Structure 1
Amino acid sequence: MTDLPGRENDPNENPFAMFGSPEQIAAAMRQFADMLSASPDAGPVNWDMAKNIARHVVAAEGDPSVMEGERRQIVDSLNLADLWLNEVTALPSGVVNPQAWSRSEWIEKTVPVWKQLCDPVAARMVETMGGTLGASGLPAEAQAMAGPLMGMLKQMGGMMVGQQIGQALGTLAREVVGSSDIGLPLSDTAALLPGGIASFSAGLETPSEEIRLYLALREAAHHRLFQHVPWLRAHLLGAVEEYARGITVDVSALEEKLQGLDLSNPERIQEILGGGELLKPEETERQKAALVRLETALALVEGWVATVVDAAAEGKLPSAAALAETVRRRRATGGPAERTFATLVGLELRPRTLREAAALWRALGDERGVDGRDAVWGHPDLMPTADDLDAPESFVKGEAAFDMSLFEEDAKGPDADGTGEGDGQSGGEDGPDSSR
């Protein structure tokens, strides 16, 4: 590295001294400008890079196209599962155009929602990295170049986050069985992955038809919630955005990684910046509250799905109890959903909370019936809280501060009476009886 005279060679005085002279920086930047170029959507994450990395990850282990026979089996299973769910829940069908996806198709079709989920966190990370690394006092002669360098630092941050997201999504795509494993509305389409089902089935002494039907029940149940509880999507993604507002980056670790970095070596830059350890957020009280809110909502979704799937499978799938335990074990041992949330959001679902949520929904069904249980989804103010999961008896036995009949029509769906009026009654700002 070329020495700079005087104090300009002191990193405490010039934070860019580690990179060499301005001429060296400019030359190096030109050499890997293409690698650092922003994605067309100009967001905080280089999503083109993220998708390419994810596809490479799944291709490394093979990602065959879905055969016609596999597609027909999955479509038939989703349609049959949806019919079974009609018997155990008041929420209407959410399966409109069931599909079978390859792993690459799962990546492509879920990226729009991953953008919504990850961009708030990534934007804060990139902003923090650029601001912290560029906020130190610079010599007067370096002020003119600060602006372009800050832009490049933000692009480096977008590349780093894009690499991390790409690795995480590629790993997740190798393990998911459908569009709803993560507990979030990643797609409006109910779909299962033949490759994911095969991986799930490995080592299980259960007929493949039963496994496929059980997983179809879970997929179809998730879509009933996501399609017919209009506030749920914004509630879940809003909790992530709230968490993102307080996120920070381990700047000291980032600076240590950058010491002695040769900007003319793109491969080395990718290796250094691809490490997820730089992106571990620091928790604040505000973030903890947002995480509790998100964790509770995800647990309630998963608990409800487990409850209705168990009821729908009873007497039809002999292996349902064993398959339910397999799903719970995947959660308890840190399955794909937990690992991806821990990587991208800093959240890990607690299996205990999922069990408590399922117990609460079962108790609600026993106490209020199927319609009364599902009517709780009518508005976020009616939902159980984290405290209710710890002590569900008071929530289940307590007198609800609303008239169940006001939500009954919406719980059955907009076509319950053929008028379509129910669609506007589920938690809208005008209240449950706004159309009456």
Structure 2
Amino acid sequence: MTDFPFGFGPQPNDDESKKRHGDDPTAGGPGSGEPGKNPFDAFSQLGQMLSQLGQMLSQAGTSDGPVNYDLAKQIALQRLGGEQIGLTPPADSDKAVADAVHLAEMWLDPVTILPAGATETKVWTARDWVDHTLPTWQRLCDPVARRVSGAWVEALPSEAKEAAGPLLSMVGQMGGMAFGSQLGNALAQLAGEVLTSTDVGLPLGPPATAALLPANVEKFTEGLERPASEVLVFLAAREAAHQRLFAHVPWLRQRLLATVEEFASGITVDTAALEQLAGQVDPANPESIEQAMQSGLLEPQTTPEQKAALTRLETLLALVEGWVDVVVGDAIGERLPGGDALRETLRRRRASGGPAEQTFATLVGLELRPRRLRAAAALWRLVGDEHGIKARDDIWAHPDLVPTAEDLDDPMEFSERLGATPEIGDDPMAQLEKTVQQEKAQEQAMDEASENKPDEPEGDSR
């Protein structure tokens, strides 16, 4: 992913710019004295930079949080509009997506005990994706932005803090604008490439909503040598499987997002590095800000607590993606001739760290990829073959039942342990409810026995 200075988008393509001004690519521009250069391009680029800078300044003070999300959304939509990305969905995409999701749901019904989780199906453009996922991005980005913003203030000596006074609030606003600008550019990049609402592995969109981006799916299909309808049904099956899991495993959505928040909130910044960084920044030169930010001086220091959170997150992401991979593989079976090839393509896309992972790493400092996807898929496959679909899916009933990172190392031992624990293999929640009912019955019997105990006769006891 190409990063640009805070608040500034990509420069226009040279060839397109020359065509607009009627220049010959092989000749020098008017008065330039240099082949292939046009002074009007420089003025055009400067105008765009000043325009975006003006937007940033006009947005100052409009956000109370650590990130200016109004600015982020404005920049993202502006970039998408300028690059003509996902402005309108392909013709007849509404019906095609609805039919694909409906077919996928029917195929999924026999291979999992989790019922359909999506109550509505949506066709999104890239702009729709930005609109509907921004609330979740806000929850994920706030902890790291707040921590980094606070680190800037902590780095100031006490004398400087007293002298700065009201200026400190302005520093916070500028930090929120800078992060919002970076977020807007990153969201625009990501919105042009994601395929579904769950493509990043997290439930970014509204609950119970299966959403696909047909324009992006169309680009993804190019070069796969598979029919477009086949690719659409395959992606619809993955989206529907994710929605079943997120809808009927109540703790999963909260646990995923909370683990990301836990990781981000633990970020620590070297204040000495901040002081060194400040000396490299020239406020009159936006490029110096970008160079300073990319110098590595702000590289977060990973704490033991963060490492533990990262392990939990990677394991949980791998379990989610592995379960979806196995269930979708069973659902499509031999119905889609290219199903196995498509599954492998998606596995490699997720494991190699595509644009989604790069964007998330830029924004939150966390690489969001299921590194152990294949191991998790092998574990779910083994449990399903050994104990059946119901036992496999019942594991999601409680977070304490799901496999750990150690279980991914030895899936056979996990499967044997599962079979040796009847209450887990049968129905863990039913067993738990049964135990609670038994305890209540015992307490009630003791209370009744105490009430029915005959009173001792009055008088002396000799």
TM range (shorter): 0.7 to 0.9
Given the alignment, which residue of 315, 322, 332 partners 1:303? 322
Aligned positions, number: 382
Q: Does 1:100 align with 2:123?
A: yes
**2: CA distance, partners of 1:324 / 1:251:** 45
Secondary structure of the 2:79 match is helix
5+ long unaligned stretches in structure 1? 1-30, 410-424
Q: 1:27 maps to which residue?
A: none
The 3 A distance-change label for structure 1 pair 76 and 251 is farther
Supply the AA of the counterpart residue of 1:124: R
Distance 2:439 2:190 in 1: 42
Partners of 1:354 and 1:434 in 2: how far apart? Answer: 41
Q: Is the 8 A contact 2:105 2:237 kept in 1?
A: yes
Name the counterpart of 2:16. Answer: none
Moved more, 120-129 or 378-387: 120-129
- 2:229 aligned partner: 209
Choose from 104, 112, 115 the match for 1:89. 112
Encode CA deviations 1:369-393: one digit per residue, 9 max, x unaligned. 1111000000000000011111111
One-letter identity of the residue aligned with 1:282: Q
In 1, are the aligned partners of 2:105 and 2:240 still within 8 Å (CA)? Answer: yes
Identity, % of aligned positions = 48
Seen in structure 2, the aligned counterparts of structure 1 residues 363 and 376 have a Cα distance that, compared at 3 Å, is same
Q: Give 3-state SS (helix, strand or coil) of 2:89's partner.
A: coil
1:370 and 2:389 equivalent?
yes
Partner of 2:166: 148
1:323 aligns with 2:342: yes
CA distance in 1, matches of 2:373, 2:55: 46
RMSD: 3.1
Question: Is the aligned partner of 1:56 residue 2:75?
Answer: no
1:400 aligns with 2:421: yes
1:66 partnered with 2:85 = no
| Residue of structure 2 aligned with 1:165, choices 173, 178, 183 | 183
Match of 1:130?
A: 153
Deviation larger for 177-186 or 155-164: 155-164
Query: CA 1:244–1:110 in 2, change beyond 3 Å: closer, same or farther?
Result: same
Residue 78 of structure 1 is matched in structure 2 by: 101
Give, in angstroms, the shift of residue 53 of structure 1. Answer: 2.3
Are the equivalent residues in 1 in contact too, given 2:280–2:292 (CA < 8 A)?
no
Per-residue Cα deviation, 1:328-358 (whole angstroms, up to 9, x for no partner): 1212332133212322233335665111011
Segments ≥4 residues shifted beyond 6 Å:
430-436
Secondary structure of 1:138's aligned partner? helix
Deviation at 1:191, TM superposition (A): 0.4
User: Comparing both chains, which one has the higher relative contact order based on Cα–Cα distances under 8 Å and sequence gaps of 6 or more?
Assistant: 1
Counterpart AA for 2:176: G
TM-score, normalising length: structure 1:
0.79
Q: Distance in 2 between matches of 1:33 and 1:313?
A: 48
Deviation at 1:278, TM superposition (A): 6.4
- Distance (whole Å) between structure 1 residues aligned to residue 181 and residue 436 of structure 2: 44
Shift of 1:259: 3.1
Mapped to 2, the partners of 1:87 and 1:235 lie a distance apart of: 28
- Determine the C-alpha separation between the residues in 1 that align with 2:335 and 2:55: 59
The answer to whether the Cα contact below 8 Å between 1:120 and 1:240 also exists between their aligned partners in 2 is: no
Structure 1 residues 97 and 230: CA distance shift in structure 2, 3 A:
same
Measured in 1, the distance between the counterparts of 2:179 and 2:367 equals: 19
The structure-2 alpha-carbon separation of the partners of 1:258 and 1:303, relative to structure 1 and needing over 3 Å to count, comes to: same
Distance 1:123 1:168, change over 3 A: same
- Residue aligning to 1:246: 266
Instruction: Measure the CA separation in 1 of the matches of 2:343 and 2:354.
Output: 14
- Larger-Rg structure: 2
- What are structure 2's unaligned runs of at least 5 residues? 1-53, 442-462
* Structure 2 counterpart of 1:46: 68
Partner secondary structure for residue 366 of structure 1: helix
Partner Cα separation in structure 2 for residue 249 and residue 230 of structure 1: 35
In 2, the alpha carbon distance for the partners of 1:160 and 1:74 equals 37
Q: Deviations over 1:271-328 (max 9, x none)?
A: 5687695654220111100111111111111000001000001021110001011111
Q: Structure 2 vs 1, CA of residues 83 and 432 (structure 1 numbering), >3 Å: closer, same or farther?
A: farther
The reply on whether 1:391 has 2:413 as its aligned counterpart is: no
